[in-house]
Amino acid sequence: MTTATVTRTTTTTLTASPATSATTDPVPPLLRLAWLASPALPIGAFSYSEALEAAVEHGLVHDDLSAGHWLSQQLRLLARGDLAAIAQGIVAWRANDEPTLRELARWLRVTRDGAEARLQSEQMGQSLLTWLRAQPMASPDQLARLSGCGEAGPAHYAFVMALALSTIDVPLEQALFTQAFGWAENQVQAALKAVPLGQTAGQRVLTRLAAEIPAAVAEAVATPPARRQLFAPMLSILAARHETQYSRLFRS
């Protein structure tokens, strides 16, 4: 099933200044990136299949080939949606660009088109924020600005992740590579349980996604705010059906 169609247009490429955190982090940058992409990060990502479980229930995903196709489409959606939001957020956090941060926080809030999607984004955002506050990464001023931009509502995952990544002294694309791979690894783990798939089949799916991540990152960086979107109606329908699915392993 194709969840959405990507439209390519002439875009402006993002550039990000190096991280200028007011704190001193003893953890090397590459280890920080691996940590933030790790399935062991205590934010509950393993609890969500992002409608993959509903796709299995309706026969759309049933083996490694169909799982690879499904997750490939999801990666394209991620590229022009939340991954583009993270890219723009990293640049805005490093530039202390509060108007852009406020617009981004609002976009993340209004584009969660179902109860499960909103719950996932808010829950993972709050869990990541709890973790971030205990790390020597974001400054008190940045954490205060994060709360202010959220307009008293819960900070969404992509918004908090953009702040965390902005404090790490690595190029923008490198930060996005690790985020995209972390998402892919979590989704493949969900497929192993929901389809179910064997470990070797799961690695075939992950190999396909890893090969597609560079293009997804390039699209995320090249997507301007006006072209950032999450329009995928069939995915939204499946996600809504998952809310009342009789038997579930995952929360979305």
Cα separations (Å) of 252 from 30, 244, 248?
Answer: 31, 10, 9
Please determine, for residue 192, whether its predicted confidence score (pLDDT) is greater than 80: yes
Categorize the per-residue pLDDT at 116 as very low, low, confident or very high, splitting at 50, 70 and 90. Answer: confident
Instruction: Name the average pLDDT for the chain.
Output: 89
Confidence at residue 9, expressed as pLDDT on a 0 to 100 scale: 40
- Each residue of 26-62: pLDDT tens digit? 999 999 999 999 988 999 988 989 889 999 998 999 9
For residue 11 the two structure tokens come to: 């875009």
Q: Is 51 left (phi over 0), alpha (psi -120 to 50) or beta?
A: left
Query: Could you tell me where the DSSP H helices lie in the chain?
Result: 29-37, 52-57, 64-80, 82-95, 98-110, 115-133, 140-149, 157-166, 172-194, 199-222, 233-242
Query: What does residue 96 show for φ and ψ, rounded to 5 degrees?
Result: 55, 40
pLDDT of residue 13: 56
Give the torsion sign (CA, 213, 178, 217, 68).
Answer: positive
Q: Which positions ≥6 away from 204 have C-beta within 8 Å? A: 64, 68
- Nearest residue to 159 (alpha-carbon basis) of 111, 212, 222: 111
* Residues comprising the chain, all counted: 252
pLDDT by residue (tens digit) across 228-246?
Answer: 998 888 888 888 888 777 6
Peptide bond into 196 cis (omega under 30): yes
The two structure tokens encoding residue 27: 């953890």
Pair 224, 17: CB distance under 8 Å = no
Q: Classify residue 244 by its DSSP letter.
A: T
- The model carries a pTM of 0.89
Q: How far is CA 97 from the centre of its chain?
A: 21
The pLDDT tens digits of the residues spanning 159-180 come to 999 999 999 999 999 999 999 9
User: Which letter does DSSP use for residue 137 in this model?
Assistant: S
Q: Which residues contact 156 (CB under 8 A, 6 or more apart)?
A: 105, 108, 109, 112, 121, 122, 125, 150
